[in-house]
Chains A and B, each alone.
Chain A
Amino acid sequence: MVEEVFGSPYIPNTKNDQTEMLAAIGVDSISDLFADIPPEKRIDSINLPQSMSELALKREFQGLADKNAVPGDYAMFLGAGVYNHFIPSAIAPLASRGEFLTSYTPYQPEISQGTLQATYEFQSLISLLTGMDNCNSGMYDGATALAEGVLMACRVTRRSRVIVADSVPPRHQLVIRTYTKSQGIAVEIQSREEIAVNGDIACVVIASPNYFGYIDEDMGGMVNEAHANGALLVVSTNVMSLSILKPPGDYGADIVTGECQPLGIPLSFGGPYVGFFASKDEYVRQMPGRIVGKTMDTQGRAGYVLTLQTREQHIRRERATSNICTSEALIALRATIYLALMGKSGFAEVGLHCFHKAHYLASLIQSLPDFELPFDGEFFNEFVICVPASSKEILEDLEANKIIGGLDISDIVSKGILISVTEMNTKEEIHKFVEVLSRWGGNSRG
């Protein structure tokens, strides 16, 4: 009979190895190596359960996963910044190749050309999509990208007051507050229609599409007003909308940020995602984060390196443009592979499907008695409806019918629900959504 021996699959040292190594070092026990720790503070064990097998581990976590409802169980009409889009099958096997997955930040360029060239591709494709000159290798998420955009605008203009449109996503507004408060930057929230810029303002921050899904139809006018006052225009955008919309760069925006989650990134309960950060050429040396550049090797061949590093914390320390170090490289790789697969025609088609399906659902809801769309203007794939009962009641009814129907925004828009539609929503799902809503209109529930 084989004797069972405890051993970690992740720690290969055998007792014999340990004995040999201790003898080489010249100490009696591993414990001796920890002698610098105050003896009275040393512990024997962490108060946690003992180790478990891979089989038991998978069973336990499958149990936790099964407690969550996922798209498939439900029709998903919830967006508000991150969306249930189709993810091509080729992304996961490529992005999970060990050479990408288990490498560190590419400090040694000769053995990191894969990560570096892929990052250069990311910078290229995001620059092209946004219509901007340059882009960095990625930020933690869309919200921190926008907050760092505000900080950069303050550095560039040497001013410390900023205007943020009230239609910028509230979660982004909160992160801007957290990031700016300690630096003495004053943030004023203004209605988009009433933004008034003056010579003290570092930047104006708008979102297009905005939190409610609507497109800023006067971005060019806003650029002009900001520039006339020496301020920058910072635009937060939904990257998927750039499949069909004229990009912010074409209007003259100075800094463009956003969330790459729509580009083949699983929803994963809020992360990991990757934010993008694009700007004009003249501000590139004020950018936060890693940037990859093309150069030559000693034999004259093209290759890639981390560049403009004198902006960064490991060189500049407290005078760096940001403290960012580890970011979201693998997620940026996923976005890059997504854009490569979707390509010129596929990405435009996805965008059009989102647009048309959203407008189809909106038109059906608009024709229901007692439902209305409170905002005028053009939207991309998200819109707001006002409902004849409380938003909460309606969403609970939808949930009971296996539909996650959107986000309750009644704190901002009375009886409002923010609805997102993507290429994943079928005509049947759209019809079922409308059918559930139709039971609420025309005083049918008293």
Chain B
Amino acid sequence: MDSAMNNATDRALLMQRSRPGRRGIRLPKLDVPVQVQLPAHLQRGELPLPEVGELEVVRYFTRLSQMNFGIDTSFYPLGSCTMKYNPKVNDEIASFSGFSGIHPLQPYTTVQGALQLMYQLQESLCQITGMPSASLASVAGAHGELVGMLLMRAYHNYKGQLNHRKTVLIPDSAHGTNPASAAMAGYQVVSVPSDSQGNMDMDALQARLNESVVGLMITLPNTLGLFDPNIEQICDLVHGVGGLVYGDGANMNALLGQVQLASLGFDIVHLNLHKTMSTPHGGGGPGAGPITVTSELAPFLPSPIVIASPSDQEDNVSYQLATPDLSIGSVGAFHGNFGVLVRAMAYIKSNGADGLRAVSENAVLNANYIMKQLEDTFEIPYHRTCMHEVVISSRNLKEYGVRAMDIAKRLIDYGIHPPTMYFPLIVEEALMIEPTETETKETLDFFIQAMLAIFKEIHDEPQILHEAPHNTPNTRLDEVLAARSPDLRWRSD
């Protein structure tokens, strides 16, 4: 048996594994009499699905999982993604049958525990951001951004200013979802440059402010991992022309228990529960991107929100879903990603006020430690105290024929997931490193040693970087080929 054979066996698709007559599940016999048959013209022919046994399915997906890096297997300093440990107890709690088994349209009387949990989460998120109102309806960060933009739209419409407010200001360091979300809400995007310190360029902001401005979308700390010290002035200026300020809460891990964004002047703040509140990312979701807002914007929140009917006795409070008076409407079929909300609430409760503050303290400490240990070797384009992540640049290594991508791929050989590459766009050859608070100092030191070793390799044997990674199921893959002739599904020959 050679390894090529093994690879072919590993990688065969379900339809290629299929053998007539095999099955992966046995069902009970039909226990009711057959009344009618589906008319022939509505019936489909033989189902085009695989025939495989249960063990084959188990081995196949187990083997596939082994081709992944996860937080559970590896250090994962993927900047802006907050890949912190996802406590197992939260998954177990979400799988309690009293949570996982309930139908979203059951009578309210039969789901009071679920509604109480959602109500508590709304309240907790409001405490974290300092806002008075929240909606849990948006199921991802970008979904929350879209909701935020639609809230601005509804607000300006209510003020009779819908028609002349057209543009959303977005820093040039922003995540791509920000402009995409603004566009989905029907707005034009105007980019605001950053200054030499990595903050928003205040003159450029002033020059772009006028009565056509819908609002500003801004991430704090920004995608350079920096807290913009002018943030209060920025919010004041935007408010001065009648605009609103949207806070992308993707980087809230840096600020838990340190400052409430509402006090700085934000009108809308979303949180990524799959980042800050440690719900597992699942290879690309599910997430949750709840929105918190000022009282002025609360009437426009998406449906549903959870409300409590007051009662004299605490035990008798009853909860139900409601639609705010001037709601932007529904953004999903039901009430948000409840299973994710359960995990987040469990995380908030287990950490508590003390634990959440310790999260931001240690996340910021760890990032600054890495920055300090790398600063003599790698270029730090914005060299000042960072928050939860640090951005380095490898542009001065291009003369050795080495790109940020090569460093990233070589880290895989050291058993480390690469940092985010080539983002933010304003840093050439960027590598964005976010260690999070859940890693040991030994792990941080190992990462630092790996980076220093790679730096030496760049000078001594750069070829080893170009060919990295060396021990993965695939070497580097041809993305151009994939896009030029798309093969997006299995087809029978």
Contact = CB atoms under 8 A, between A and B. Distances in A.
B401 interface: no
B404 to A, nearest CB: 13
A125 B14 contact: yes
Interface in B289-342: 302-303, 328-340, 342
Residue of A92, A184, A328 ringed by the most chain B CB atoms within 10 A: A328
A413 interface: no
Contacts of A178: 150, 302, 328-331
Contacts of B116: 64, 67
A315 B176 contact: yes
B444 to A, nearest CB: 8
A228 interface: no
Interface stretch (A116-124, A188-196, A435-443): A116-124
Given A99-B69, A101-B72, A106 B352 contact: no
Contact of A128 (B49, B117, B412): B49
B185 interface: yes
B57 A266 contact: no
Interface string B349-368: 11111111111011011101
Nearest to B92: A58
Interface string A18-48: 1011101111001011111110011101111
Contact of B477 (A71, A110, A141, A353): A110
A224 interface: no
Contacts of A137: 284
Interface stretch (A199-207, A301-309, A383-391): A301-309
B489 A13 contact: no
Interface string B62-79: 101111111111001010
A315 B313 CA distance: 54
Nearest to A181: B329
Residue of A20, A52, A88, A340 ringed by the most chain B CB atoms within 10 A: A340
Given A41-B264, A268-B99, A310-B483, A250 B107 contact: no
Residue of B73, B284, B340, B474 ringed by the most chain A CB atoms within 10 A: B284
Given A38-B229, A267-B102, A323 B68 contact: no
A347 B335 contact: no
A20 to B, nearest CB: 7
B227 A36 contact: yes
Q: How large is the interface on B (under 10, 10 to 19, 20 to 34, 35 or more residues)?
A: 35 or more
A3 interface: no
B38 A110 contact: no
A299 to B, nearest CB: 5
A340 B52 contact: yes
B179 interface: yes
A111 interface: yes
Contact of A305 (B93, B437, B479): B479
A326 B284 contact: yes
Contacts of A35: 385
A124 to B, nearest CB: 4
B5 interface: no
B145 interface: yes
Nearest to A425: B32
Contacts of B387: 33, 36
A217 B42 contact: yes
Interface stretch (B135-143, B204-212, B238-246): B135-143
Nearest to A323: B180
B65 A25 contact: no
A394 interface: no
B182 interface: yes
A444 interface: no
Contacts of A330: 280, 282-286
The 4 A-B residue pairs with the shortest CB-CB distance in the complex, in nearest-first order: A65-B98, A270-B334, A98-B72, A330-B282
